[in-house]
Structure 1
Amino acid sequence: MFPTITAGLDGSAASSDAADWAAAEARRRGLPLRLVHAAARQPDAAIPHTPLGSPGRQQEHWGDRLLRDAEARIQLRHPDLRIVGEQIANEPVAGLLGAAADAEMLVIGSQGLSAFASFLVGSVALGVVGRATRPVVLVRAARPAGEPPRPSAPPAASPRDVVLGLDLDRPSDAVIAFAFAAAAERQAVLRVIHGWYLPAYYTFGTEDIPASQDVGGELAEQKKTALADALRPWREKFPAVEVTAQAVIGRAAHHLVDSARGTDLLVVGRRTRTSPLGGHIGSVTHAVLHHAVAPVAVVPHD
């Protein structure tokens, strides 16, 4: 299949906002937008009919209307964008994973609980992120649940930053390349964050270390150098991208959530290993998905 930006729709405010975000991304990349609605359907023969038809038929009609309404709304904002809609007769996780297989990326919504509570990432979103082989972007709802969709706003006059969470122990080319390309497409600043901890002997006592040795300062310089070394070939490959890099002490997820406020995109990685219970999402990525307000791109890598 020809590459697309694919967005999953389920009728929620979050999925509608995700479709808007996906439309803007498709336009930036010069790709078609594919809107999909995945829902398992029972055979009509197994379900009693009502005056409005069987529940399966009603579900199909509702899905068609959902896709048509979203397509019409997005087409008004992006008249030159090629948009295709498709219903997938499968349960949501499997359906979205199948739709993502041939896409440049899959974009889905993630509903927040409130402005003060931790965010809730649904089982469908986590199931897709944990098993997808292509990048998945989770977009928060920009309006309260139940409020009707608003017309897509025009793009901001000046681009917002892209934030990359970089693991220096296992730096992934796929994750770094995705973040640099996203910043280049937006003509935005790429802010790279690496979180690290001081060793236990420095935190709890330094009896075995000469008093004149600034262990924290030396380690900070080592991390700074390692970060610069990891980014050097990518700076050369994307010379137009302005990059700021920070190696910060403390929980990486905490720094990433704070740094991503008001940004256009937060990029993190996920190793493509599985457990007997299914796909695995690392602790940093898991925390970011639950707490970051900005759209989060999860890029799978070996």
Structure 2
Amino acid sequence: MPTPVMAGVDGSAESLAAAEWAAREAVRRERPLCLLHAWAWHQQRDGEAADAVRRTLARRALRRAEERVRRARPGVRLSEEQVPGPATTALLEAADRADLLVLGSRGLSGFTGFLVGSVTLGVVARATCPVVLVRAGEDEQDEHFPAEDGSACERTRHRDVVLGLDAGDPDDRTIEFAFEAARLRGAVLRVLCAWQPASASALGPGDIALVDEPQQAREWQGYLSAVLQVWRDKYPDVDVLECVPRGRASTVLIRAASAAGLLVVGHRLAERPVGPRTGPVTHAVIHHVGCPVAVVPHA
């Protein structure tokens, strides 16, 4: 049996939106969907009475999520799980046996972006499978460009998939995830490789030509084209736009994602002395981007 798309649910509006997004993705990927509820989303007192309450809340959360999924994608192959233990631990264990893990994050009222809690950050930092964050209120119409009259529509073409490529570490797993996401949607893939001008004081004697910014831009464009060529050959049906904007990576990605259907970024798995953390670019985009964000781990 293929590994499932898994969605963490706790009965909240954001987890219901995540469950529906996960159902659409499971159908696209031709995979089953598993709805997962961890008893300890919030700390509870121990004992039989507390266990009974947790089980009741779990059944209620799973029932609401199942109803939402069945309305959106009645044909999806669906299963459910209840697991005890801290939410972060339960979700990380689920990620080890998932194709994709989808979590909800509360949208910031009046602003784009997510309100990301400690559980979500802990999972994103250490999960071994890609993690997609979906804001509250996200629905199928948001994946598509508006109709000609400006109204929301589920029948127009999909919004672009945006890939933020780390120039110093162009990870194959992250690139493949983005190409596959674009292929499944029939969407344009926009690949962004942000760069900043080299400081003259940081250049050696043989690097002085790089002070010329137009030349630097051409160098980055050639580099990006070379990295992507093998993926263009593998995915000939995906329309790819290569962009080498000047500026900070986080700023460039946040701006580019404002009209995107999905933003894809990579995350290097590493244990640091102070514990697992997301990198600065990943941290910035998951807090300030309004569309779903896929964080793809790599070694």
Fold match, TM over 0.5?
yes
Which letter maps to 2:187?
A: A
1:131 aligned partner: 126
Which letter maps to 1:44?
A: G
CA distance in 2, matches of 1:111, 1:69: 18
1:73 aligned partner: 68
Which letter maps to 1:16?
A: L
TM-score (structure 1 length as normaliser): 0.87
CA deviation after TM superposition for structure 1 residue 10, in Å: 1.6
- In structure 2, relative to structure 1, the CA distance for the partners of 1:113 and 1:25 (3 Å cut) is same
For each residue in 1:137-174, what CA deviation from the matched residue of structure 2 results, as whole angstroms up to 9, or x when unmatched?
0111127xxxxxxxxx9844311110000012111000
Secondary structure of 2:81 counterpart:
strand
2:292 to 290, 295, 298: 295
Superposed, 1:191-202 pairs within 5 Å as: 191-201=190-200
Which letter maps to 1:291?
A: H
Which letter maps to 1:279?
A: P
Larger Rg: 1
CA distance in 2, matches of 1:24, 1:117: 23
1:44 to 44, 47, 72: 47
Structure 1 runs not aligned, ≥5 long: 46-53, 144-152
Which letter maps to 1:5?
A: V
1:29 aligned partner: 29
Q: Kindly, what percent of the aligned residue pairs are identical?
A: 46
Give the total of aligned pairs: 279
CA deviation after TM superposition for structure 1 residue 231, in Å: 0.5
- In structure 2, relative to structure 1, the CA distance for the partners of 1:28 and 1:99 (3 Å cut) is same
CA distance in 2, matches of 1:185, 1:126: 27
Which letter maps to 1:200?
A: S
CA distance in 1, matches of 2:19, 2:119: 16
1:250 aligned partner: 247
Which letter maps to 2:130?
A: P
Secondary structure of 1:139 counterpart:
strand
- In structure 2, relative to structure 1, the CA distance for the partners of 1:129 and 1:87 (3 Å cut) is same
TM-score (structure 2 length as normaliser): 0.87
2:79 aligned partner: 84
For each residue in 1:89-129, what CA deviation from the matched residue of structure 2 results, as whole angstroms up to 9, or x when unmatched?
01110011111111101000111232238642111110000
Superposed, 1:109-258 pairs within 5 Å as: 109-116=104-111, 119-142=114-137, 155-201=154-200, 215-258=212-255
CA distance in 1, matches of 2:211, 2:84: 62
- In structure 2, relative to structure 1, the CA distance for the partners of 1:56 and 1:181 (3 Å cut) is same
